Amino acid sequence: MSLLWTSDEIAQAAGGVASAPFAVSGVAFDSREVTGGDLFVAMKGESTDGHRFIGKAFEQGASGAIVSEPIEQPHVLVQDSAAALEALGRASRERMAGKVVGVTGSVGKTGTKEALFHALDRIRPGNVHRSVKSYNNHVGVPLSLSRMPRSSAFGVFEMGMNHAGELAQLTRLVRPHVAIVTAIAPAHIEFFATETAIAQAKAEIFEGLEPDGTAIIPYDSPHVATLYDKAERHAAHILTFGFDPEADVHVRDMVPAANGGTLVTAKLPSAELCFTVGAPGEHWVSNALAVLAAVEALGGDLAVAGLALAEMPGLPGRGERSRLAVGEGEALLIDESYNANPVSMAATLKQLGREQASRRIAVLGGMRELGDRSGELHSGLVDPLTAAKVDHAILVGAEMTPLAQALAGVVSFDHVSDAAEATRLIQQEMRAGDAILVKGSNGIGLSRLVAALVTDKNLGS
């Protein structure tokens, strides 16, 4: 067990009172995730109260808790547990002497965060911390900060938002030395008047930059001027990345690699690098360029980072690939089930069109938080579907009705109400030689479809 916090340090950071001396090696606010040596933060929410799960947390090995009500077990008593967690995250950032990177964007932020973690971990093995899962909101970011070992050489934190002002608050907690915006897309457009307003909200990440900090922005974005204008006000240095040769970090050449990825030659301010992006798709090449820009800004070893990009594993829900036994053959499953917006849908459909397969099948769930533009943006997927030469589409959810209407007579499809019905259908229809893309907003529940396919070894005919 490595020491993360003592009870005295927690009490000092959070402005609380410790009931007894204790030490912790981790932090959790979900009792189901508590492991031996953790600090359990009992928070009161709209629908539940973490204090109800104190007993379970200690049964699972918690060493102490942050509480706003006295308990028998070792604890630090505070007025507000959520505020205490934020204070603990702030204290963790204060004591860390390494370099910190913040990542945001409408698409690609989790993949970029993970790829950058793997690249930096190659440079400083075992000495890099990053946010886990997609803990990128007002609770997840303080949690990820509070879990950071004080000796970390690098910290990589994902930050998300769906309203203006949220990133400004998060970035001032994280205080990045390098801040990345991956891309701008009409995700969460329900809460914004225009896509430009989304770009302005994403650009808030630059407000928290440390002195001499670097902003990294996507040159190919139609909103590059909006991002650049904000970056100029807060960053000492700006690096652009993209496929355009005018970008500071850009692709000189790229060809398909034997493993399904891409062999890339990239030009950076300090070097030219030939490397392989293991994950398939141009969107992963773009992510890799952002990663290399960050490594350049941090003064890291670009060649070592390139090796990490070649070996980066697929992420569940974000491009992970599985081979499914179907009769006497196999089908390829591409799991993009975690989230979806029009830009990421188009990117992953484009990659599906490049797969060598007897049939290309797209299982597409509705895209959430698109507001008044939902119908237009869903029906707009017709062109990416036809360009990818999709043989059959399974559309899931009521949001997909405009696309179903637009696809009539264009592409073979089924339109079903939910993930359970889609699961039954794909189990009946899939064949050996198929390439199957599964993508939709997380609330559609297509991860359950993926789990069903991966665990069933005798599917199809």
- Sorted by sequence, the CB contacts under 8 Å of residue 443 that are 6+ apart come out as 368
Contact (Cβ atoms closer than 8 angstroms) between residue 319 and residue 284: yes
**So what's the pLDDT on residue 455?**
85
Cα separation, 433 vs 161, in Å, equals: 40
Does one domain contain both 220 and 252?
Answer: yes
Cα separation, 261 vs 276, in Å, equals: 7
Contact (Cβ atoms closer than 8 angstroms) between residue 420 and residue 452: no
**So what's the pLDDT on residue 461?**
35
Specify the residue for token string 């992970």: 320
**So what's the pLDDT on residue 150?**
95
**So what's the pLDDT on residue 162?**
84
Q: What is the pTM of this model?
A: 0.85
At 446, which CATH number?
Answer: 3.90.190.20
- Low-confidence residues of the chain: pLDDT under 70: 1, 456-461
DSSP 92-141: HHHH--SEEEEEE-SSSHHHHHHHHHHHHHHHSTT-EEE--TT--STTHH
State which amino acid sits at residue 91: A
Specify the residue for token string 């000092």: 12
CA distances from 243 to 239, 265, 288, 319 (A): 14, 11, 11, 21
Q: Where are the beta strands (DSSP E) in 382-454?
A: 392-396, 413-416, 434-439
State which amino acid sits at residue 443: G
Does one domain contain both 175 and 35?
Answer: no
- Full domain range(s) for residue 64: 5-80
Could you give the 3-state DSSP secondary structure of residue 20? coil
**So what's the pLDDT on residue 460?**
40
Does one domain contain both 294 and 347?
Answer: no
Does one domain contain both 73 and 101?
Answer: no
**So what's the pLDDT on residue 205?**
98
Does one domain contain both 59 and 130?
Answer: no
Does one domain contain both 161 and 287?
Answer: yes
Cα separation, 66 vs 77, in Å, equals: 6
Beta-ladder partners of 362:
393, 437
Looking at the domain assignment, is residue 85 inside a domain?
no
Looking at the domain assignment, is residue 184 inside a domain?
yes
**So what's the pLDDT on residue 1?**
61
CA distances from 459 to 256, 315, 412, 448 (A): 30, 23, 22, 16
Looking at the domain assignment, is residue 89 inside a domain?
no
Does one domain contain both 47 and 136?
Answer: no
Among 4, 150, 22, 149, smallest CA distance to 76 is for 22
Cα separation, 54 vs 77, in Å, equals: 13
**So what's the pLDDT on residue 458?**
43
Among 266, 245, 249, 222, smallest CA distance to 106 is for 222
Among 333, 400, 391, smallest CA distance to 364 is for 400
**So what's the pLDDT on residue 254?**
96
Does one domain contain both 262 and 235?
Answer: yes
- Where are the alpha helices (H) located in 253-388, listed in sequence order? 282-298, 302-311, 342-352, 374-379, 382-387
Contact (Cβ atoms closer than 8 angstroms) between residue 155 and residue 294: no
Could you give the 3-state DSSP secondary structure of residue 188? coil
Cα 67–Cα 70–Cα 73 angle in degrees, nearest 5: 80
Contact (Cβ atoms closer than 8 angstroms) between residue 187 and residue 107: yes
- How many structural domains does the chain have? 3
Looking at the domain assignment, is residue 255 inside a domain?
yes
DSSP character at residue 318: B
DSSP character at residue 315: B
Cα separation, 190 vs 440, in Å, equals: 17
**So what's the pLDDT on residue 185?**
86
Token duo for residue 374: 């939902």
Q: What is the pLDDT of residues 285-344, one digit of tens each?
A: 999 999 999 999 999 999 999 999 998 877 888 889 999 999 889 999 999 998 899 989
Q: What is the pLDDT of residues 104-154, one digit of tens each?
A: 999 899 999 999 999 999 999 999 999 987 788 999 999 999 999 999 999
Looking at the domain assignment, is residue 436 inside a domain?
yes
End residue of a domain, out of 311, 328, 362: 311
Looking at the domain assignment, is residue 171 inside a domain?
yes
Beta-ladder partners of 313:
none
Looking at the domain assignment, is residue 155 inside a domain?
yes
Does one domain contain both 253 and 134?
Answer: yes
Does one domain contain both 109 and 68?
Answer: no
Intra-chain end-to-end CA distance of the chain, in Å: 50
